[in-house]
Structure 1
Amino acid sequence: MIKAVFFDIDGTLVSFNTHKVADSSKEAIRLLKEKGIKVFIASGRALFLINNLDDLEFDGYITINGCSCFINDNGNIKEIYRETFDKNDLFSLNDYLKTDKIPCAVITNNDMFINYQDDTIKHLYSMANVQIPKTVDLDDYIKNNYNDILQLNIFTDENKEKYLMDNVLKNSKSSRWHFSFADINPKNSGKDIGIDKIIEHFGINLDETMAFGDGGNDIGMIEHSALGIAMGNANESVKKIADYITDDVDNDGVYKALKHFNVL
C-alpha cells in the first residue's frame, strides 16, 4: 500500500510549456491527501525558488537535490536534514575558474549567485521561470560562504563536466536535466537520500513509496522508491530505469499513473 508519493516539479508537476500545474495533477494531489497519503516535493530547486505550485500544500520538501529536506508541521516549515560540500572541492573550483571562466552559479537555502551572465544564461533561467542569480565575485563569495553552499550549476557540456568531476570536484556528484548545464551536489546527497530522511521522520517504509520524475536528477529516487514513474516527456535515461512510463506532463501523466496503479 502506497503511503507517500514524491513529485519532481519541473517537467513533472509543472509544464515547461505553460509553467503551471495541470488541473488533473492538482486533483490527484487533493485525492491523495483525502485518502491520507502523504505528498512530498522532490526538486532540484531551493525552497525559496519553489514559486510555481499555486496554492498546493505538501507534507514536506526534498530540495536542492536532497541537500536540504523540510517537513510541514501544521504550516511551520522545518528543516530536518542538510548536506554541504567538502570545502576542498569549492576551493579547487575557485582555482579552476581563474583559467576557464565558464558560467557557474552557487545556490544556498536563501539565495543564488553567479560569476557572470549573458543572454543564454538569462534564457535558461527564464525557461524554468526562475530568478536570475545575482552576479558576484565568485572567488570571494566561495571563500567567505563555503559552509552555506548546497549546489552548483555548471554551464558546460558533458565532456567538460566529466573533466571537472574527475579532477576538480572529486568529492561531489553531478546530474543533468538539461543539456546546457549540470547540477553539482555533495557526494552524500540525492533525492533518494532525501526520501530516506523524510520517510524515517514519518515512520513510513520504503516499500510504501512512489516517485515521479523526468530528469537525470530524478534517476536515484525513481530507482530507490518502491514504484518509480517516468513522465512521458522524461529523458531516455530516466525511462530506462523506471517501473512505469506514464503520459506527458501536459497530458495528465501524473493522474493517469496514479489511476493505473490504483493509488487513486
Structure 2
Amino acid sequence: MKIKCVVFDVDGTLVTVGSRLLLESTIASIYELQEKGIKVAVATGRPFFAMERSIKEKVKFDYYICSNGVFVYDNANQKDLFKYEIPADVVMDYTKLCEETGGAAMFQFDEAGHVYVGYPQLISMLSDTLGRIEYFFKHPQQERHQYSPPTAIISKIPTAHMQRFRETFPQFQFVPFMHEFYDVFPKEISKFSGIERICQELNLTTDQVMTFGDALNDVEMIEKAGIGIAMGNALPEVMDRADHITENCEHDGIYKALLHYKLIEPNPYV
C-alpha cells in the first residue's frame, strides 16, 4: 500500500525532549514529502498552544493531533476536525481528589494550561520537559472551566493513590510519561483515533499512513499504522511493535527512515 500520510510525534521524535529545534535534515525531508503530495501531520501529547513557534514556522504541517488525540486540527484549511470537552462536574471532582491525595492537575484549554492544584510540582516538571512555561498559569480560583470546557488533563498522582483515581474516573486512561506524572484523557481517544479522523477527511485507509514515535503514547499508532517507525531512543515497548527502528532524531533518524522506505531521495548534505 502506497504511503499517503506521514505522522510524527514531537518530543523525542521530531526534537529531543526539551528542545525547540528541528534538524535541517528533518525539515528538508518533510518538505520533500509534501512536494510529492504526501500529507504530513504531528501527533503529540502537547496541547496545541504549547507547540513550539519555531516548529510551526519551520514546517507547515497539514494536520495537528494534539493532547493525545483530544484535539485534531486541519491546519491547511484552518478548521477543527475534532475536540473533546471535559464536563464541568468532572473537572471539579478531579480537582477535589487531587487536593485530597496530594496530587496535581493542570487542565488544558484552548489558549493555555490552568493549574487548579499542585502548581509547584507541575511547573517544575513542565519546565524540565518542555523548556518553557509561559502558557501555563496558576489558577487557584478553579473557575476557568465555567467559561469554556477543557480538553485534557496533565496530572501528578501519588503512586499510593493511583488505583483510587482509576476507580473514580473509569472513563479516563492514565498514560505515564514521567514518574507519577500522567496524561489523562478518555479511553476511546488516542493519537491513532486522531489519525483515523484525518484518514476519514482524506479518504485514506490507515494502511496508507506511516508513523514515527518513541514513547508509550505512541505504541498504538506505531502498531496499527501501515508502517510504524520507532526512534533509536524509543522505549522497548515501542521498538517491539515497530516495523522499523531508525536512529534517534539528533542523528537524522527521520531522514534515514524515510530514505530507507524510498519516500525521499538521498540528500548529499546529510
Q: Calculate the TM-score normalised by the size of structure 1.
A: 0.89
Q: How many residues were matched structurally?
A: 258
Which structure 1 segments of 5+ residues have no match?
Answer: none
Q: Which runs of 5+ in 2 are unaligned?
A: 265-270
- The alpha carbon displacement at 1:234 in A equals 1.2
Flag the 1:159–1:195 CA change in 2: closer, same or farther, 3 A.
farther
The aligned residue for residue 64 of structure 1 is: 67
Q: Which residue of 2 aligns with 1:43?
A: 44
Kept after mapping to 1: 8 A contact 2:107/2:152: yes
Asked whether the 8 Å contact 2:232–2:253 carries over to 1, the reply is yes
Distance 1:141 1:100, change over 3 A: farther
The corresponding residue for 1:99 is 100
**185-194 or 47-56: bigger deviation:** 47-56
Per the TM alignment, residue 55 of structure 1 is displaced from its structure 2 partner at its CA by 2.1
Q: Which amino acid aligns with 1:40?
A: A
2:204 paired with 1:201:
no
Is the 1:216–1:238 contact (alpha carbons within 8 Å) kept by the matching residues of 2?
yes
Equivalent runs, 1:71-220 vs 2, <5 Å: 71-73=74-76, 76-85=77-86, 89-114=90-115, 115-118=117-120, 121-127=122-128, 128-131=130-133, 133-137=136-140, 139-141=142-144, 144=146, 148-156=149-157, 160-165=161-166, 167-220=167-220
Cα pair 2:101 2:158 within 8 Å, conserved = no
* 8 Å contact kept, 1:89–1:168: no
Tell whether the 8 Å contact from 1:150 to 1:186 is kept in structure 2 after alignment.
no
Please give the alpha-carbon distance, in whole angstroms, between the structure 2 residues aligned to 1:263 and 1:231.
Answer: 17
Conserved 8 A contact 1:85-1:172 = no
Question: 3-state DSSP class of the match of 2:101?
Answer: coil
Task: Look up the SS of the partner of 1:14 in the other structure.
Answer: coil
Q: How big is each residue's C-alpha offset from its partner over 1:1-54, in whole Å with a ceiling of 9 and x where there is no partner? A: 110000011110011264311111111101111111110111111211111414
Q: Give the Cα–Cα distance (whole angstroms) in 2 for the partners of residues 122 and 152 of structure 1.
A: 14
**Is 2:230–2:238's contact at 8 Å kept on the other side of the alignment?**
yes
Distance 1:106 1:18, change over 3 A: closer
- The answer on whether the counterparts of 2:214 and 2:231 sit within 8 Å (CA) in structure 1 is yes
Alpha carbons of 1:140 and 1:168: their partners in 2 closer, same or farther (altered >3 Å)?
farther
Maintained 8 Å contact 2:7/2:210: yes
Distance in 2 of aligned mates of 1:223 and 1:85: 28
* Residues 208/160 of structure 1: CA separation in 2 closer, same or farther (3 Å cut): same
Aligned residues with identical type, % of pairs: 27
What is the CA-CA distance between 1:84 and the residue it aligns to?
2.5
1:238-253 pair list within 5 angstroms: 238-253=238-253
**Aligned residue in 2 for 1:9:** 10
Q: Over aligned residue pairs, what C-alpha RMSD do you find?
A: 2.1
Mapped partners of 1:251, 1:179: distance in 2: 27
For 1:122 and 1:87, how far apart are their aligned partners in 2? 24
**Rounded Cα–Cα distance in structure 2 between residues aligned with 1:255 and 1:41:** 16
Q: C-alpha distance in 1, partners of 2:64/2:241?
A: 23
Give the aligned partner of residue 267 of structure 2: none
CA shift in 2, pair 1:247/1:180, >3 Å: farther
Contact kept, 8 Å, 1:92 with 1:168, in 2: the verdict is: no
> What is the CA distance between 1:158 and its match in structure 2?
5.3
Q: Would you say the 8 A contact 2:72–2:81 is kept in 1? A: yes
